[in-house]
Structure 1
């Protein structure tokens, strides 16, 4: 068996495996587009001679984290022919991908799991979920006149991306979109767009939506203030002669719309979505912005388990200074001092992404050790909200 990157002439064998594994068939137009965007250097496969046995893709992406931009490796297209399963191919590929991402400075990795338990074995953990609303027309927010103006059919990417960046940069894990991503993955298809401009002419909100079968399906609802939110909802409500309900998907978990409705008894659903994992613990932690420590540095000794990425495993001394900057020092194997906390890379990934809090993890024994140390870590980790609108 040989583990290597795909070659430029191996598009067809890669596509055939994907079509079989994920049960779809590309149209001629889709196949042409996929070939145009095929980047073989992002694909890693296990080969028996010239026969592709299993593969995955590492997509170089960037995400917002604490208002900063970090490099992230997106894992996608993990596939194996059925006759080659349970031979360790995917395990080999995932562990190799972790090493590749570490070498490339990608301190985080995201993936959309076919099986959450499966990817937990390799260190990924849930970090993002979203809400879905189904709002009948009779329960729409009240209409209101706003001083700005609504413009349909805006497909100017700089305008949309400017609103998007201002909105999503306050979350942890949202994707940095370039022009190609907008064109290929966001604005494709027959959907509609609408932008709200303030009285001063500044774009402060947009929505991407479809109309079908007496329903308005909103895929993205992005706003910078309540004026924009109200204006966009008034625009939706003005469709009440042709729709019976609005179906909102990809709503962030901190959204307050139901509370603001005249009648909040609407259908709400929470969907577990993407998984994340820290690829390089030392590099990630030393980029992380902790809460400033008053008067003196804070120190904790933490034992970390990570079988898939052994460079993260072991005993670490975490030191955070008065400015909230951290140092992570690996302790020698013969260290005999106290260990404050023990955990695994999955729990640390959920914790540092802002998906779970230290004391909550301690309560369910995902973070074990001294309760006082868990409380101290709680005070060191700033609150944050995770969110991801995209899919790959």
Structure 2
């Protein structure tokens, strides 16, 4: 079946399939708003005799990894009419998307899976999860007198984004947000109410986006720069105790709230979230700009076999070592560097490793990274530790 980009005149085809597949309905006003924002160049469709049978979006993003911004292709709106399913349309679209993203320089891709096993078949792998807290008001952090102040606000995007960017750059897998993304996604999904913590100099150092309904305080997003900002925001939240009975919050996996509470017996759930996939392995490693540690790369490069049946440019025998500038690089193994590789894994496992979600020594013990413990220990030294996190959805 031919695959092509949609045109602006095909907005209705795109929206009809999206609404049916994801079970939502837009009012006429909302539909016109979506029409104005429709970017047909991001949508690819499978057509048969002029009829749209399946579709997929590739949204261009920038993603933080080890403090750097990388071009990322966000896969979304993957949908097929039910009578056209099981004909291989999504398979064709995903393979086409990998080639398209590679040409666009999007060396990493992320998506929200409807089913993890389905996308694992194509090389995407879980890279981030979060803690979901449910806290009775009697168990909230104690109120603390802090310097600065918390202000309820309409939420100035430039002010909030300055706080967010400093926070996001400390994690792997967070989005670099544009003003349009704040307006169209963050505010639309999360901003019912907003409060900002400002330090003694008047500089914003933390914020929450939240809503209050049915005696529940739902924190849709909480970002802070330091402990003072954290305490000030929690004190602001605790001052709603006469209005609410519980507080909910999604927090990154390195959040330490339970330990800091006088009584840590709050509701906690770990929720698997987004998946990632390395699109172009050598270009991805080069863009990370990681310094190659001398203790791991002073000798021969690490020999690595990557399995990737859906992106043949990644599949093969590689050498992971230092380039001329001392940065980590991934280069094809030469004929003289043949023999059995020291380590072997699929592209999904490699993605989990380089995004910081999993560690080499652990995956070697789990049988996901095949090879010796010594080789895994070498790889361990090459990949810095950095917590994954993602506050957005697409």
TM-score (norm. length: structure 2): 0.96
Equivalent residue number for residue 309 of structure 1: 311
Deviations 1:150-194 (A, max 9, x none): 110241111000000111111001000010011111122661000
The SS at the match of 1:95 is helix
1:166–1:298 Cα change, 3 Å: farther
Q: How many residues align?
A: 391
Equivalent residue number for residue 247 of structure 2: 246
What is the rounded CA distance, in whole Å, between the counterparts of 1:147 and 1:334 in structure 2?
A: 64
List, as ranges, runs of 4+ consecutive aligned residues in structure 1 with deviation greater than 3 Å: 321-324, 332-336
The SS at the match of 2:138 is helix
What is the rounded CA distance, in whole Å, between the counterparts of 2:270 and 2:206 in structure 1?
A: 24
Asked whether the 8 Å contact 1:303–1:339 carries over to 2, the reply is: yes
What is the rounded CA distance, in whole Å, between the counterparts of 1:324 and 1:15 in structure 2?
A: 49
What is the rounded CA distance, in whole Å, between the counterparts of 2:357 and 2:300 in structure 1?
A: 23
Residue 319 of structure 1: how far off its partner (Å) = 1.4
Equivalent residue number for residue 43 of structure 1: 43
What is the rounded CA distance, in whole Å, between the counterparts of 1:120 and 1:308 in structure 2?
A: 11
Equivalent residue number for residue 339 of structure 2: 337
Equivalent residue number for residue 388 of structure 1: 390
Q: For 1:158-237, what aligned pairs fall within 5 Å after superposition?
A: 158-188=158-188, 191-237=192-238
Are residue 77 (structure 1) and residue 77 (structure 2) matched? Answer: yes
Residue 320 of structure 1: how far off its partner (Å) = 2.4
The SS at the match of 2:20 is helix
Residue 290 of structure 1: how far off its partner (Å) = 4.3
Asked whether the 8 Å contact 1:208–1:219 carries over to 2, the reply is: yes
The SS at the match of 2:175 is coil
Are residue 119 (structure 1) and residue 109 (structure 2) matched? Answer: no
What is the rounded CA distance, in whole Å, between the counterparts of 2:313 and 2:337 in structure 1?
A: 17
Equivalent residue number for residue 368 of structure 2: 366
Are residue 99 (structure 1) and residue 99 (structure 2) matched? Answer: yes
Q: For 1:123-142, what aligned pairs fall within 5 Å after superposition?
A: 123-142=123-142
What is the rounded CA distance, in whole Å, between the counterparts of 2:177 and 2:258 in structure 1?
A: 29
Equivalent residue number for residue 149 of structure 1: 149
Residue 327 of structure 1: how far off its partner (Å) = 2.5
Residue 83 of structure 1: how far off its partner (Å) = 1.2
Single out whichever of 187-196 and 42-51 deviates more from structure 2: 187-196
What is the rounded CA distance, in whole Å, between the counterparts of 2:300 and 2:384 in structure 1?
A: 15
Equivalent residue number for residue 257 of structure 1: 257
What is the rounded CA distance, in whole Å, between the counterparts of 1:6 and 1:161 in structure 2?
A: 32
Note the aligned Cα RMSD (angstroms).
1.6
Asked whether the 8 Å contact 1:7–1:40 carries over to 2, the reply is: yes
What is the rounded CA distance, in whole Å, between the counterparts of 1:44 and 1:366 in structure 2?
A: 33
